[in-house]
């Protein structure tokens, strides 16, 4: 039982990172109709910036968690202004190829600057070690990651449901054409929404960098991009709740797969997605199109 609890905590921690990243991608896709394949690279870039702030500039971990999403928001705005917006009127495949190319550039730029060995990144004071609950030893970092991810997801949920700006964005993600029919200028929200989605990916990467080196992050930039797209499809393309639920679900399935069936751990997530799509082609929380 203690092992099961530990695996569950690990899965929730990983799921939190996936949920944050997928939430940003769901917002971007809902408003722009763009599948941002560079989301994993932005996730990695957030980790790189966080490590640089700590190791080279001496900025504290908690301050870095504030700085990283702000910097990544600016990066997202720049990306949308310089590249993405010029292809919005074309087939979505063009923006998919564009963001794929941006992934190559970002990953190679990090490798050229920092190599493959990376920079030292120590776990901040207070987040190291373990706590014992009964017969179960739990990682302090994993507990922090779970709580942090849930708090951020809830904060984003409140932003989307309790503020006028959030409701406009949420309406746009659900049905952009109908939102425009009510006289709301969806176009004006394109740039900040894209930046917001990238900021969430960077924030997730900033927290994730605590326990991974740059070499691992460079490899994970590709796998994370694939997983985040998969999670978005699994939850229902463009649905915010679906992105969060599917993110945590994939994290749990991944953790249990590694623990109990390591030989099949890499395919179990795809089996899960196939099973869900067979039953619900629109995803867990997606809405069926009505003719």
Q: How many CB atoms lie within 10 A of CB 264?
A: 11
| pLDDT for residue 98 | 92
**Domain harbouring 38, CATH code:** 1.10.3470
| pLDDT for residue 135 | 67
With respect to residue 288, please indicate whether it lies within any of the assigned structural domains. no
DSSP states of 26-82: HHHHHHH----TTHHHHHHHHHHHHHHHHHTS---HHHHHHHHHHHHHHHHHHHHHH
- Domain range holding 183? 2-279
Separation between Cα atoms, residue 118 and residue 197, nearest integer Å: 26
151-185 pLDDT, tens digit each? 988 888 888 888 888 887 777 766 777 777 878 77
Q: Which residues of the chain have pLDDT under 50?
A: 290-291
With respect to residue 71, please indicate whether it lies within any of the assigned structural domains. yes
With respect to residue 228, please indicate whether it lies within any of the assigned structural domains. yes
| pLDDT for residue 132 | 74
Check residue 182 and report its DSSP letter. Answer: T
With respect to residue 17, please indicate whether it lies within any of the assigned structural domains. yes
With respect to residue 202, please indicate whether it lies within any of the assigned structural domains. yes
With respect to residue 286, please indicate whether it lies within any of the assigned structural domains. no
With respect to residue 287, please indicate whether it lies within any of the assigned structural domains. no
With respect to residue 290, please indicate whether it lies within any of the assigned structural domains. no
Could you give the number of structural domains in the chain?
1
């Amino acid at each position: 039982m203690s092992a099961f609890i530990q695996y569950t905590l690990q899965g929730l921690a990983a799921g939190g990172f996936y949920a944050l990243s997928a939430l940003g991608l769901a917002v971007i896709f809902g408003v722009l109709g763009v599948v941002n394949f560079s989301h994993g690279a932005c996730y990695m870039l957030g980790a790189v910036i966080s490590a640089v702030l700590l190791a080279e500039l001496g900025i504290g971990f908690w301050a870095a968690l504030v700085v990283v999403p702000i910097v990544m928001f600016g990066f997202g705005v720049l990306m949308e202004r310089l590249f993405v917006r010029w292809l919005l009127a074309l087939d979505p495949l063009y923006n998919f190829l564009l963001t794929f190319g941006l992934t190559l550039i970002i990953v190679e730029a990090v490798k050229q600057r920092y190599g493959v060995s990376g920079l030292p990144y120590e776990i901040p004071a207070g987040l190291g070690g373990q706590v014992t609950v009964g017969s179960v030893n739990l990682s302090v970092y994993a507990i922090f990651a779970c709580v942090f991810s849930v708090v951020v997801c809830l904060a984003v949920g409140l932003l989307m449901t309790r503020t006028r700006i959030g409701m406009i964005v949420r309406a746009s993600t659900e049905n952009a054409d109908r939102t425009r029919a009510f006289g709301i200028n969806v176009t004006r929200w394109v740039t900040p929404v894209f930046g917001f989605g990238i900021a969430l990916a960077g924030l997730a990467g900033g927290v994730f960098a605590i326990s991974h080196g740059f070499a691992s992050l460079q490899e994970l930039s590709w796998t994370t991009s694939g997983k985040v797209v998969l999670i978005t499809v699994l939850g229902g393309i463009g649905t915010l709740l679906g992105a969060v639920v599917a993110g945590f679900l994939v994290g749990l399935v991944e953790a249990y797969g590694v623990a109990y069936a390591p030989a099949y751990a890499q395919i179990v997530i795809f089996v899960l997605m196939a099973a869900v799509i067979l039953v619900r082609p629109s995803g867990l929380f997606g809405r069926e199109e009505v003719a």
